[in-house]
C-alpha cells in the first residue's frame, strides 16, 4: 500500500430531502450517499469497484448510473476508480528507401526483406498489466479508508526471436523525397502491447545524367568548340529510354540553357502533368598550339575585337 490513506465521513441525514426542502440537489446527494454505502457494505461490489470502478459495479447491476464516489472524492484526484489502462506500443521504425529517378519516373514495385523481432512465449512467468488500484475499507459508521497500491497479473514469459518477412512496396510515379509508405505493426515489438509501425521513406539516389528539383529535371551537355560555333544535332536519352532531340544552329556559349517543355518528371498529384527539362551547355576547348596561319583564319572568320575586361563574377 502507498501514499493515499484518509477517512471521510458520510452523513446521509445531512442531505435528506425532508431536511433540505429548498435544496434541489439534496435528493441526488442523498441517493449518491446511499449508493456509496451499498457498495461499501457489499464485499463483492466493493472488490469490483476497487478493480473496475463504477463501470464494473454498473455491469454487475446491469443498469446505468454514475460514480457515487466521484462527487465526494474527485477533488482528491481519485474521481472514478476505473483507471484508464495505458496503451503500450512498440517504437515506430523509419527506413530510408533509396530509389532511382527511373523508378520515380515510371513507377515500380519492389520487395524488401524485413527481419522483424517478435516476442514468443517461453517457459516461466512474468509480471504484466501492472496498474495502480484503490482499496476501500470500512473504518466505522459513516467513514471508510481508501489505499492505493500496485497490482500485477502473471503472464507467460516471453523471449525475442527474429522472423523474416517479405514486404511489397509500390513506388508511384512522381513521388518525392520524404513521402512514406506505412506497414502497420511491422515496427519494434512491445511486451505488453502492440508492435510499432514501419515506415519506408523515399530518398532519391544520385543519377549520372539528371538532377531533379520539384517536377523539373536538369542536366548538362558538353559540346566541342566547333559544335558550339557551327551548331550540332543530338539526341538525349530520357529516363524511360525515349530520345529528346536537341538541335542548335546558332552559336552556343558556355552556360547557355535551353528548355524542353513537358520533358520533366510527372506530377504525383496529376500524372498527366509533366515538368520541364533544362539543358545547360558546357564548351570543351581544344588543347594544343595553333599555327599562325590557323590563328589568322580564325580572326578572319570571327571578326571580333579584343575584349579584356575584369569583373566580379561571384
- Written as one string, the DSSP assignment of 82-126 is -PPPP--BPPPEEEEEEE-HHHHHH-EEEEEEEEEEEEEEEEEEE
Q: Does the structure show a pLDDT above 90 at 160? A: no
Rounded to an integer, the average pLDDT of 254-263 is 96
Any idea of the CA torsion for 250, 252, 253, 254, to the nearest 10 degrees? Answer: 170
Beta strand ranges found along the chain (DSSP E):
7-9, 93-99, 108-140, 143-171, 180-183, 198-204, 211-213, 216-224, 232-237, 243-248, 257-260, 277-284
Averaged pLDDT, 170-183:
96
Paired residues of 292 in beta bridges: none
Are the beta carbons of 249 and 231 closer than 8 angstroms? Answer: yes
The answer on pLDDT for 78 being more than 50 is no
User: pLDDT value at position 74?
Assistant: 46
Q: What is the pLDDT of residue 107?
A: 96
pLDDT > 70? residue 55: no
Mean pLDDT of 238-266: 96
Tens digits of residue pLDDT in 83-142 = 445 678 889 999 999 999 999 999 999 999 998 888 888 888 888 888 888 777 777 766
- Residue 275: alpha-carbon gap to chain centroid: 28
Give the burial class of 174: count Cβ atoms within 10 A of its Cβ; 0-12 exposed, 13-18 middle, 19 or more buried. Answer: buried
Residue 211 burial (10 A CB sphere; 0-12, 13-18, 19+)? middle
Q: Which one, of 309, 169, 268, 282, lies nearest residue 221 by Cα?
A: 282
Per DSSP, 290 falls in state P
Would you place residue 51 in the very low, low, confident or very high pLDDT band (cuts 50, 70, 90)?
low
Of the listed ranges 72-81, 200-209, 280-289, the one predicted with least confidence: 72-81
Residue 124, Ramachandran bin (φ over 0: left; ψ between -120 and 50: alpha; else beta): left
This prediction's pTM: 0.64
Angle of CA points 86, 92, 95, to nearest 5°: 180
How confident is the model at residue 1, as a pLDDT? 41
Which tens digits make up the pLDDT trace of 216-243? 999 999 999 999 999 999 999 999 999 9
Q: Convert the pLDDT of each residue in 128-137 to its tens digit.
A: 888 888 777 7
pLDDT tier for residue 193 given thresholds of 50, 70 and 90: confident
β 216-224/277-284 pair status:
parallel
Give dist(CA 122, CA 160) in Å, integer: 10
Amino acid at each position: 500500500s502507498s501514499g493515499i490513506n484518509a477517512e471521510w465521513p458520510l452523513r446521509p441525514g445531512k442531505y435528506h430531502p425532508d431536511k433540505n426542502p429548498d435544496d434541489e440537489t439534496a435528493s441526488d446527494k442523498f441517493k449518491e450517499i446511499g449508493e456509496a454505502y451499498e457498495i461499501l457494505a457489499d464485499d463483492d461490489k466493493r472488490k469490483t469497484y476497487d478493480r473496475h470502478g463504477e463501470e464494473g459495479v454498473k455491469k454487475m447491476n446491469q443498469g446505468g448510473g454514475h460514480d457515487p464516489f466521484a462527487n465526494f472524492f474527485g477533488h482528491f484526484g481519485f474521481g472514478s476508480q476505473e483507471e484508464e489502462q495505458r496503451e503500450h506500443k512498440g517504437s515506430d521504425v523509419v527506413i530510408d528507401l533509396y530509389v532511382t529517378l527511373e523508378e520515380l519516373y515510371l513507377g515500380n514495385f519492389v520487395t524488401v526483406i524485413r527481419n522483424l523481432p517478435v516476442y514468443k512465449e517461453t517457459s516461466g512467468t512474468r509480471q504484466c498489466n501492472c496498474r495502480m488500484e484503490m482499496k476501500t475499507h470500512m473504518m466505522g459508521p459513516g467513514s471508510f479508508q481508501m489505499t492505493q497500491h500496485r497490482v500485477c497479473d502473471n503472464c507467460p514469459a516471453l523471449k525475442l526471436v527474429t522472423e523474416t518477412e517479405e514486404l511489397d512496396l509500390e513506388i508511384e510515379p512522381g513521388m518525392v523525397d520524404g513521402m512514406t509508405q506505412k506497414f502497420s505493426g511491422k515496427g519494434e515489438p512491445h511486451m505488453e502491447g502492440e508492435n510499432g509501425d514501419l515506415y519506408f521513406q523515399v530518398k532519391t539516389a544520385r543519377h549520372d545524367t539528371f538532377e531533379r528539383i520539384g517536377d523539373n529535371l536538369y542536366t548538362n551537355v558538353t559540346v566541342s568548340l566547333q559544335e558550339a560555333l557551327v551548331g550540332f544535332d543530338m539526341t538525349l536519352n530520357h529516363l524511360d529510354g525515349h530520345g529528346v532531340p536537341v538541335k542548335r544552329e546558332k552559336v552556343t556559349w558556355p552556360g547557355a540553357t535551353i528548355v524542353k517543355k513537358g520533358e520533366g518528371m510527372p506530377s504525383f498529384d496529376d500524372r498527366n502533368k509533366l515538368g520541364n527539362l533544362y539543358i545547360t551547355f558546357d564548351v570543351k576547348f581544344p588543347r594544343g598550339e595553333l599555327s599562325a596561319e590557323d590563328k589568322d583564319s580564325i580572326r578572319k572568320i570571327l571578326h571580333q575585337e579584343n575584349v579584356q575586361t575584369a569583373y566580379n563574377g561571384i
